[in-house]
Chain A
Amino acid sequence: MAYVQNTVERLDRPSTYFDKSKRNREDREREHAPPKEDPLKDATTLYVGNLSFYTTEEQIHELFSKCGEIKRLVMGLDRFAKTPCGFCFVEYYTHEDALDCMKYIGGTKLDERIVRTDLDPGFKEGRQYGRGKSGGQVRDEYREDFDAGRGGYGRSLQANEMGKEYD
């Protein structure tokens, strides 16, 4: 039994995000392939989301180093503007530190925003950029609420508003 069944849920499990993004493709490619080794088994990296665009590396370091020494910190950047766009990767030296971070820091506040953490198979060049149409994260593209820490309304909403008078 890989996972023992605890009497309350564990907070140090990866979210469904990772599973989902991979599953479809893999299913199609090889249906009867032997069960692959869990790529997050020894993960030392975390994806950290819902940051304010204004949160600095130092602030992130201050909070996240409470779970262990940080090996590397990569800020997520807007693909075009090369400015922070509200996420980052935090890499620890050990898997245990990364799990502890899931347990003790995920869901708590940094810069007065609740941050989201997720285990990550590891940073690769290129992943530091937002994948939204306008360069930021996808979630900031179509957001309908106003979020001062993340550039106000969603960008495509803003774009529409701006062009309105010419309609």
Chain B
Amino acid sequence: MGDRGGRYEREGRDRDRGNYRDQGRPQHFKKRRYQDDDERDYRQQRPRYEDPMVRLRKDVLAIAESPLIKVEDSIRSIAKSLSAHWDHEAIRKGFVSLVKFLVVEQPFKIPFVAAIVLCANAQKHEIGKLVLDEFAAQLQEYLDRCEWRNFKLMLRFMGSVSCMLDGEGVATLLNDLATLTGDLAAEGGSSGLSEELSHVILITIPYILTSAPGGITEEFLTNLIERIGGMQVTAPIEPLICPYTGPNAPYPAMNATALLLNALKEEVNNGFKFEILARPWEPFLAELEAATKHFFPNISMPTSLAGGTIFPKLYFSVFQGAIYETVPAPTSIASSILRDSIGDTIGLLDFNRIACARFLIDVDCYFSPNAFVKRATPFDKIAEVPEGGSTWKPEDICVDAIFTNIFQLPQPEHKLVYYHAALTEVCKLAPQAVAPSLGRAIRYLYRNLESMDVELRYRFIDWFAHHLSNFGYTWKWTEWIPDLQLSKIHPKRSFIQEAVEKELRLSFANRIKSTLPEEYVGLVPEDKEKDVPEFKFEADDIAFPEEGKQLLNLIRQKAPNEEVDTLMNAITEAASNKGLPDATKYARDMYVTCICHIGAKSLSHVLSCIERCKDKLTQLGQESNQAQRQIVGTVMHYWAEQPGIGANVIDKLLNYSILTPLSVVEWVLLDAGREVLPRGHAWEMVNTTVRKVVSRTRNLAAARGAPDLPEEQMTIMEQGHEVAKAEQAELFKVVMEGLAGYADGSVPAPEGTGEEDAAWLKVWSGSWLRALKRQSDIEEAEEAMRVSGAGDADAGAGASADAGADEGADADATMGEGEDVAENGSNEDEMKEEA
């Protein structure tokens, strides 16, 4: 486990040159029986011929990856072999397409790829010409399609080869973009596009200024910064998407574009140093200046701007305010550059999380040689860094970037589980280096739980439990023991409880118990160990115990409906004879409890049971809204010790339209009441339900806008959309009113609540209110855009809106499609019968 030139151990074999195909393939994907083949070297027996394109591809892909190879040498040798083989069409085509991909998949390498092209152009000017033409066409395509990230990266490449561009190079393009941005900002900038474009323009500037000198002047860029500075508008949604609120927030809300703009203004005064960026072209400067320059084709602005809302990105960090500055200060230009570049790498490489993790771990290879402290430098050793040296820990910067995604509101670009997986991979690649960083991150988040947005609190729990499940559930639980004394509704105590709860859902009680200190035993009561909860009618201290057992048998034995109805009617009659209030509720509660108990063994058991009894269940629910709320209550009562399972069952009942979304939300907020707000399952139930409703409305709106829709269909869609919209509005209204009453104290806390608890309940209610208001505002804005934009806007979804909409779309597939599930469910039914 030696330190090979400052790299982490573990990276030996697959990093050897030429093995790029294996890059990112996890070990377990290799069949054991083939492993022998890897060891024996067959290649020696074959003629030593290698296709030049294969070789070129390997070399270009490996550029800057290894600190053992001088990047200057790689650039020179690639440029040389490129100009030697340029006559071959395969090489020309292969190289251009490879580089096109590289720019939009591995943005770290852009300055290096640019240096290769510049160098090759100096040797053979046809190379520069072809690359430029092809790239300009691609750039235009990305612009027309409004693919802003790819456009930005292509533009960055163009800026980095300024030195081989005629005249002012990309200056005209930047000017046109600035004009477009100004126009959009003048319209109010509600779609977020003007902010996105500002960011695209601004982030290109450092790369232009650190590339080989070209025709674009500092003066021009300084003016450009000024100009963009004059067009900034704040999106109305911004106050609702900041990660922390309240007086104890660890740092104020900071908009990423505003930070970049201010940092650049600062740089204007400092003389544009951008020390963080690598300058791989420097050794070749003399050659480059003598090289042929090419005409930069005209790029025209897009005719239509498709795409949904782009939400502002707010600064998020888990290493702010530490005694050592392990990540660049938010106001520094280095922070903006790194966050943008690492953020893109993470966003682009979701199709191979292992390769992504590799790049993150290697981040120090792609920037200035002394930009970071040596890898895996322990936090307390940073004090030993000599005066003037960098204190930035590459591990911290990577971990920070992944957390920035997990904690991005309203939604990150990809599903949250991608970022979980990326963190897992980073930990697997360099455990000794990353684990301590992660530990500090967790402690930071935990310390700031009180000010954290409620949705983010839930994401934190979800990530934490999932992460631990990949690493043997080991965590220093002992350090939180004192917090176990806190009130159960204190955000920290609630975090501990819910994290354990989530762990239990991924594992089982005995296993989790074995990983916790003794003091935590109370969090995993014995009832949680039971596979199947007690059937409450087994006890005598309940109304109608005998009837309960009878009904269970009837349903279990699939007795005819008449028998079930007779029994249930008898119970209702008996209840009303006894003068009990709301006489129908006994039979209803009993029936639903029986369904739960019969289906308690597993999810497919309960599904097939619901499927079999769905007519009766539907009928029970249709009696009234109160009845539906009671059904929710019965299910959650049955699964009180494992509320996660209860929430799943409720979700299925929702899919079968046995329950309405409104009844689920009303049960949580009005029946279970505010005491349930600190619970993870409560958030899960409300969040899932609201999302389903929202996505159905969105899908109907999109379907309505589909071209070539016959008029009749159109009317149906139109009506469907109106109904969905009304339902959604009603849902949000109920939620807001309920929560507002709790939050402003107009509905007093239940009797016996202590003063401190009452205060925390207010905080929880306020936090929930804010999170749901965010969703509601976003939907209202979307709808407004649909009405005004009519067509264009809702067809596609913008970069950030995408994730949310997608998630919604999946959920929507299930609403009211009980039939479909049913069909499949019956298969399972048979299967279980056999079992």
Contacts and interface: CB of A to CB of B under 8 A. Distances in A.
A40 interface: no
B469 A109 contact: yes
Interface string B58-87: 000100000000000000000000000000
A9 B353 contact: no
Contacts of A71: 814, 820-821, 824
A110 B604 CA distance: 19
Nearest to B26: A107
Interface string A62-104: 1100111101111101000010000000011110110010011
If over half of B's interface residues share one DSSP class (helix, strand or loop), that class is named, otherwise mixed; here it is helix
A87 to B, nearest CB: 14
Contacts of B539: none
Given A105-B421, A108-B421, A112-B469, A9 B24 contact: yes
A27 interface: no
Contacts of B355: 8-9
Interface string A48-70: 00000000111101110011110
A93 B827 CA distance: 17
Nearest to B835: A82
Contact of B811 (A69, A104, A107): A69
A66 B458 CA distance: 13
Interface in A1-18: 4-12, 15
B506 A63 contact: yes
A5 B99 CA distance: 11
A15 B34 CA distance: 15
A58 B505 contact: yes
A7 B811 contact: no
A131 interface: no
Contacts, number: 144
A8 B834 contact: no
Contacts of A66: 415-417, 420, 466
B106 interface: yes
B421 A104 contact: yes
Contacts of B418: 100, 103-104
Contacts of B824: 71-72, 91
Contact of B470 (A61, A68, A82, A109): A109
B811 A11 contact: no
Interface stretch (B330-338, B344-352, B573-581): B344-352
Interface residues of A, number: 48
B507 interface: yes
Nearest to B607: A72
A137 interface: no
A158 B101 CA distance: 52
A166 to B, nearest CB: 33
A7 B61 contact: yes
B247 to A, nearest CB: 34
B290 interface: no
Given A71-B824, A108-B421, A56 B602 contact: yes
B49 interface: no
Given A6-B101, A62-B644, A107-B28, A96 B806 contact: yes
A103 B353 contact: yes
Which has the most chain B C-beta neighbours within 10 Å: A66, A73, A91, A125? A66
24 contacts: A6-B105, A7-B98, A7-B102, A9-B21, A10-B351, A11-B24, A15-B29, A56-B508, A57-B603, A58-B602, A59-B505, A62-B505, A67-B417, A69-B811, A74-B831, A77-B831, A77-B835, A82-B835, A93-B813, A100-B417, A103-B351, A103-B352, A104-B350, A112-B469
The 8 closest A-B pairs by CB, nearest first: A93-B813, A66-B417, A8-B355, A82-B835, A57-B602, A68-B810, A62-B505, A10-B351
Interface of B: 20-21, 23-26, 28-29, 61, 97-98, 101-102, 105-106, 349-355, 414-418, 420-421, 424, 466, 469-470, 472, 505-508, 602-604, 644-645, 648, 806-807, 809-811, 813-814, 820-821, 824-825, 827-828, 830-831, 834-835
Given A73-B603, A112-B469, 12 more contacts: A8-B106, A57-B602, A58-B645, A58-B648, A66-B466, A72-B825, A75-B604, A104-B350, A104-B418, A110-B469, A111-B506, A125-B827
